[in-house]
Amino acid sequence: MGKCGARELNYISDVDVIYVVDPGSLEDAKANTIGTALASGISRAISSVAREPGLWEVDANLRPEGKSGPLVRTLASHETYYARWAESWEFQALLKARAIAGDAALGRAYEEAVAPLIWSSAGREGFVESVQAMRRRVTENIPAAEEQRQIKLGRGGLRDVEFTVQLLQLVHGKADESLRRRDTTSAIAALSAGGYIGRSDAAAFDNAYRYLRLLEHRIQLFQLRRTHLMPVAEPAQRSLAKAVLGPFSSERPSPDSLLTAWQRTKRSVRALHERIFYRPLLNTAAKLSSEDAKLTPEAAQGRLAALGYRDPQGAMRHIEALTAGVSRRAALQRQLLPILLDWLAEGVDPDAGLLAFRRVSEALGTTHWYLGLLRDSNAAAERLCHMLSNSRLIADLLEVSPESVAWLGQDKDLVPVGFEAQWQEIIAKMSRHSDPESAMRLIRLIRRREILRIAIADSAGLLDQDQVGKALADTDRAAVLGALRVAEGIVSATGPLKTTVLVVAMGRQGGREIGYGSDADVMYVHRALPGFSETEAQEQAARIVAKVSSLLTQPLKPAIMAERVLQMDADLRPEGKNGAMVRSLDSFAEYYRRWSLIWEAQALLRARPMAGDDALAADFLKLIDPIRYPDTVEEQDVREIRRVKARVESERLPRGADPARHLKLGRGGLSDVEWLVQLLQLQHAGKHPALRTTSTLEALSAAVDLGLLDAADAGLLADAWRLASRIRSANVIWSGKASDLLPSSRRDLEAVARWCGYEPGHAAALEEDYLRVSRRARAVFERVFYGH
pLDDT the model gives residue 285: 63
Pairing of strands 499-505, 520-528: antiparallel
Q: What contacts 708, CB < 8 A, 6 or more positions away?
A: 680, 684
pLDDT the model gives residue 620: 97
pLDDT higher than threshold 80 for residue 222: yes
C-beta of residue 198 within 8 angstroms of C-beta of residue 293: yes
* Residue 250's pLDDT band (cuts 50, 70, 90): low
Tally the C-alpha atoms within 13 A of residue 770's C-alpha that lie toward its C-beta.
Answer: 32
DSSP per-residue codes, 251-300:
SPP-HHHHHHHHHHHHHHHHHHHHHHHHHHHHHHHHT---SS----HHHH
pLDDT higher than threshold 70 for residue 565: yes
For the segment 256-278, the average pLDDT, to the nearest whole number, is 85
Name which of 551, 482, 470, 452 is nearest 510 in CA terms: 470
Tell me, what DSSP letter sits at residue 501?
Answer: E
Q: At what angle do helices 158-172 and 184-193 cross, to 10 degrees?
A: 50
C-beta of residue 515 within 8 angstroms of C-beta of residue 729: yes
Burial of 117 (0-12, 13-18, 19+ CB in 10 A): middle
pLDDT the model gives residue 331: 82
pLDDT higher than threshold 90 for residue 683: yes
Report the distance separating Cα 441 and Cα 436, nearest Å.
8
H helices of 365-464, in order, are: 370-376, 378-390, 392-400, 419-432, 436-459
Residue 702 neighbours by CB distance under 10 Å: 24
Q: What is the pLDDT of residues 389-406, one digit of tens each?
A: 999 999 999 999 999 999
Lowest mean pLDDT among 323-332, 623-632, 681-690: 323-332
Lowest mean pLDDT among 251-260, 358-367, 469-478, 554-563: 554-563
Over the Cα atoms of the chain, what is R_g?
Answer: 33
How many secondary structure helices (H) and strands (E) does the chain include? 32, 9
pLDDT higher than threshold 90 for residue 465: yes
C-beta of residue 122 within 8 angstroms of C-beta of residue 170: yes
385 compared with 88, residue with greater pLDDT? 385
List Cβ<8 Å contacts ≥24 apart for 227-233. Answer: 228/150, 228/151, 228/152, 228/153, 228/158, 229/146, 229/149, 229/150, 229/151, 230/149, 230/150, 230/151, 230/259, 230/262, 232/149
Q: What is the pLDDT of residues 166-197, one digit of tens each?
A: 988 988 888 889 999 999 999 999 998 888 88
pLDDT the model gives residue 286: 58
pLDDT the model gives residue 655: 84
pLDDT higher than threshold 90 for residue 663: yes
Q: What contacts 313, CB < 8 A, 6 or more positions away?
A: 301
For the segment 654-661, the average pLDDT, to the nearest whole number, is 89
C-beta of residue 645 within 8 angstroms of C-beta of residue 785: yes
Q: Which residues of 486-504 are buried (b: 16+ CB within 10 A; e: fewer)?
A: bbbebbeeeeeebbbbbbb
pLDDT higher than threshold 60 for residue 770: yes
412 compared with 253, residue with greater pLDDT? 412
Average pLDDT, the chain: 91
If phi > 0 it is left, if psi is from -120 to 50 it is alpha, else beta; for residue 496 that is beta
pLDDT higher than threshold 60 for residue 491: yes
Lowest mean pLDDT among 284-288, 464-468, 778-782: 284-288
Residue 593 neighbours by CB distance under 10 Å: 10
Report the distance separating Cα 494 and Cα 489, nearest Å.
9
pLDDT higher than threshold 80 for residue 135: no
pLDDT the model gives residue 287: 57
* Residue 521's pLDDT band (cuts 50, 70, 90): very high
pLDDT > 90: what percent of the chain?
66
